[in-house]
Amino acid sequence: MPAGRRALLAAPLLAAPLLAMAARRAAAQACRGTVHLTIDTGWGREAEAIAAILRRRGVRATLFLADEPTFRGDRTLDEAWAPFWRARAAEGHNFASHTWRHWYFRGDAGPGQTRYVNRTGPGQETLTQAALCAELARPTDRLRQFAPEAEVLPLWRAPGGRTTPGALAMAAACGLRHQGWTANGFWGDELDSTAHPNAELARHAIATTRPGEVVVMHWGVRSRRDPLANVLDEIIAGIQARGLCFAPLPATGA
């Protein structure tokens, strides 16, 4: 084949990677900062609606897993929820631990021991190093049964964000770093919707979310009558219109 003919045939093959690289550079230049959306399990009532909004807006998040009661009368890590978690893994969301029982840490009981208390009913326990590691590993081990391909980060989040020095040190010994949320990262989905209506929360979230923010929300909150999910599309669109991009947390946290 003549050299000129070979060059013409090779040109599209060479151009494709260059065009893709240019597109990535343009996207990076258009992005004025990154926001990390994180979602805790919660009540699950708006889970499918929230997932559809994220998919439509091209938003990937980090999902913190715990085995909590849901609006369906089951629990978030029951087999019936396996299709939901598999779909999220396939969409490119990554995952981390939110503890198995979603109890609260309430002070340390001595070296290598921390108190773990059920805030919604009877039950408390003093966790040793091994017991804490097991409590933190169990939700992500369960996820891997549903979605072996899911990306699981070496991060965890204490319920309510409440930690103790002992719990943090013991979790670090399990290989997990605690990940909270930032000052403007609470969008208010747990607040009373009469006192804090959605329009107010949407305006505040759009105006105050900054580059580097770690945002926390839930797949539905039982006590909120007008779910934040009803304005989530507006919030994400408004933040994206400000030039901010969404990305999951890196393995090192933020």
Tell me the per-residue pLDDT of 133-171, one tens digit each, with 9 for 90 and over.
999 999 999 999 999 999 999 999 999 999 999 999 999
Q: Are residues 42 and 26 in the same domain?
A: no
Q: Are residues 14 and 101 in the same domain?
A: no
Q: Confirm if 168 and 179 have CB atoms less than 8 A apart.
A: no
Identity at 96, one-letter amino acid code: A
Q: Is pTM, for the whole model, over 0.85?
A: yes
Per the prediction, the chain carries an average pLDDT of 91
Domain total in the chain:
2
Q: What is the pLDDT of residues 19-44, one digit of tens each?
A: 444 434 444 457 999 999 999 999 99
Among 79, 67, 75, which Cα is nearest to 103's? 67
Question: Could you tell me the two tokens for 39?
Answer: 């979602």
Q: Does some domain include residue 60?
A: yes
> Residue 15's domain spans which residues?
1-30
Identity at 198, one-letter amino acid code: N
Q: Are residues 25 and 58 in the same domain?
A: no
Q: Does some domain include residue 64?
A: yes
Q: Are residues 17 and 73 in the same domain?
A: no
Q: Does some domain include residue 162?
A: yes
Task: Say how far apart CA 85 and CA 87 lie, in whole Å.
Answer: 5
Among 135, 133, 71, 131, which Cα is nearest to 102's? 135
Q: Does some domain include residue 253?
A: no
Q: Does some domain include residue 172?
A: yes
